[in-house]
Amino acid sequence: MRLNCPICGERDRREFYYKGDAVELDRPDPNAGSEAWDDYLHNRDNPAGETRDLWHHESGCGAWLVVTRNTLTHEVLRCELAGANTQ
């Protein structure tokens, strides 16, 4: 698997740390209640197909990326800077 870092270009998967589902970008309000926080922390869509993950280019530029890829084929569809999603 190779990821196309927007800053560094296409790099081997070994350069990246996998953080988890990109649901972590949608952090609930601190007062959203236990149900919202339980859902955010534990429950997952876990799709067989297109999914969004957070990856860290730890052996490269250090950027956090949102990677859209296919869990059935391991095809990487898009790599975007996570900052662009949150700002």
Among 29, 30, 34, 62, binds other proteins (CB under 8 A): 34
d(CA 37, CA 41): 6
Interface of this chain with other proteins, residues 35 to 74, rule: CB under 8 A: 35, 38-39, 41-48, 51, 53, 71-74
Neighbours of 57 (CB within 10 A): 21
Compute the least distance from the CB of residue 53 to other proteins, in Å.
Answer: 6
Decide whether 39 or 80 has the Cβ nearer to other proteins. 39
Compute the least distance from the CB of residue 7 to other proteins, in Å.
Answer: 21
Reported in sequence order, the residue ranges of the chain that DSSP labels E, i.e. its strands, are 2-5, 9-12, 17-21, 50-56, 64-70, 76-81
Under rule CB under 8 A, residue 14 binds other proteins: yes
d(CA 35, CA 75): 34
85, two tokens:
């999603």
Q: Interface residues with other proteins (CB under 8 A)?
A: 1, 13-14, 18-21, 34-35, 38-39, 41-48, 51, 53, 71-74
